[in-house]
Structure 1
Amino acid sequence: MRITVFGANGPTGRLLTGRALTAGHQVTAVTRQPESFPLHHDRLEVVGADVFDPVAVDAAVAERDAVLSALGVPAGKEPITTYSRGAANIVAAMERHRVRRLVVVSSGAVEPQPYSDGGFLFNRVLLPYVTGVVGKTLYDDMRRMETLIRASDLDWTIVRPSGLYHLPSVTDYTVVEGHADGRFTARVDLAASMLAMLNEDRYVRTTVGVITTSDNPTLFQWIRGEALAKH
């Protein structure tokens, strides 16, 4: 399969690109910084392009079979439009070139709900602070992205992970439609689930949650290793 990966140079995008190559796909990795992209392969094309540039996005989508988006930007107080404007350009290019399959990373935080294992600190303090203060502009733009994608006629799947963290290998992760009652998602599980969705129709035009149910960090470990880290 000929696959284009947007956000290919991020932590999840690199895993996704690597797994797609291992699975035998022809991959176009789109990044604003192609010189820093660490992967090399005969079936890999690294394209330097900005998702805000509709001409560049159009060229990256043409003659492909599927598109995977792992776009990600840091949270901040300034308005964020990367997700919604990027999605608009991706959807327009896919419709123009009749590329049907789209799998996009969003976040469980766009529809925040308490978790059964979250406890008072996570559910009543950290979750509202992250979703309503620190990440407000980011999650607002993710909501705009989701709305735009749902309004398209593509065969889309919106994937909502929980708090992302690192594990060395794929686990027996869980995929559910709608809200996933779990606080953490290993990036390698997120990448594996996205790639697996290309080979099945079960989750077409569906929003799903992906969670990792083993080897989860403690809340303190996650905050120290992920929430406070700079990517």
Structure 2
Amino acid sequence: MRIVVLGANGGTGRRLVQQALDAGHDVRAVTRQPRSFPVRGPGLEVVAADATVEAPVSGAAVVLSTLGTPFTRRPVRLYSRSTATVLAAMRREGVRRLVVVSSSGTEPHHHAEGGFLLNRIIQPLVTATIARSTYDDMRIMEKMVRDSDLDWTIVRPSGLFDSDSVTRYRLSESRSDGVFTSRADLAACLLAQATDTAWVRRTVAVTTAEGTPTLLAMLRREAFGN
């Protein structure tokens, strides 16, 4: 199967490309910085492109988008602009299967596993300040995808962290009580959607249940980089 991965040079994108190659798929990795792309292997095509301007999806069986940007107080348009470009390209090329990464933050809710600190302090503060523009644009992206006539799936991870391997991650409709999602699990979930029709035209939350960091460890890493 030929898979197109958008945002291939990000933390999730790199893992997704490697997992897809390991599974025997042909992969077109789309990135704005092809020279720094570290993955190599048979069946890999690395393409330089800005997905807000062009989306090289011809010949694809499925398009998996891991496009993302750090939180910022500045206006964010990456998600909506790239989605408009990708939808137009897919319609033009006759490609129907689209899977996009969004976030659990687009639908803030009480997390049973989150406790007072996350639910009452961190989540309200983050969604109202540095993440507000990002989540607003993600919601626009989600609506554009839902309104399309494609075979779409929207994947919503929780707080992302790095891990060495894929675990028995959990899937649920739209939202989850889980607080964390490893990038390896997110990549595995995205790859599974390439052949699984269970979540077509649905929104799925993916969370990691084992080997997750503590909330304080995650905050320390975000604040101090260690």
**TM-score in terms of structure 1 length:** 0.95
Which among 210, 223, 226 is matched to residue 228 of structure 1?
A: 223
- Structure 1 residues not aligned, in runs of 5+: none
For residues 22 and 191 of structure 1, what CA distance do their matches in structure 2 show?
A: 13
**How big is the shift at 1:77?**
1.2
1:186 match: 182
2:73 match: 77
For residues 37 and 126 of structure 1, what CA distance do their matches in structure 2 show?
A: 34
Matched, 1:39 2:35: no
Q: Superposed, which structure 2 residues align to 1:102-121 within 5 Å? A: 102-121=98-117
Residue 229 and residue 152 in structure 1: after superposition, are their counterparts in 2 closer, same or farther (change >3 A)?
Answer: farther
1:16 match: 16
Q: Secondary structure in 1 aligned to 2:117? A: helix
2:83 match: 87
Matched, 1:2 2:8: no
Q: Secondary structure in 2 aligned to 1:228? A: helix
For residues 89 and 223 of structure 1, what CA distance do their matches in structure 2 show?
A: 35
- What's the % identity of the aligned pairs? 52
Matched, 1:146 2:139: no
2:119 match: 123
2:51 match: 51
**RMSD of aligned Cα (Å):** 1.1
Which among 88, 92, 98 is matched to residue 96 of structure 1?
A: 92
1:166 match: 162
Matched, 1:135 2:131: yes
Residue 191 and residue 114 in structure 1: after superposition, are their counterparts in 2 closer, same or farther (change >3 A)?
Answer: same
For residues 171 and 197 of structure 1, what CA distance do their matches in structure 2 show?
A: 16
For residues 117 and 50 of structure 1, what CA distance do their matches in structure 2 show?
A: 38
Amino acid at match of 1:228: A
**How big is the shift at 1:119?**
1.4
For residues 120 and 181 of structure 1, what CA distance do their matches in structure 2 show?
A: 13
Amino acid at match of 2:37: F
For residues 107 and 8 of structure 1, what CA distance do their matches in structure 2 show?
A: 18
For residues 174 and 195 of structure 2, what CA distance do their matches in structure 1 show?
A: 20
Q: Secondary structure in 1 aligned to 2:24? A: coil
Q: Deviations over 1:177-216 (max 9, x none)?
A: 1111110001100000110111111100000000101111
1:30 match: 30
**How big is the shift at 1:229?**
6.7
- Structure 2 residues not aligned, in runs of 5+: none
Matched, 1:213 2:179: no
1:61 match: 57
Amino acid at match of 1:107: S
Contact 2:52 2:83 in 1 (8 A): no
**How big is the shift at 1:82?**
0.4
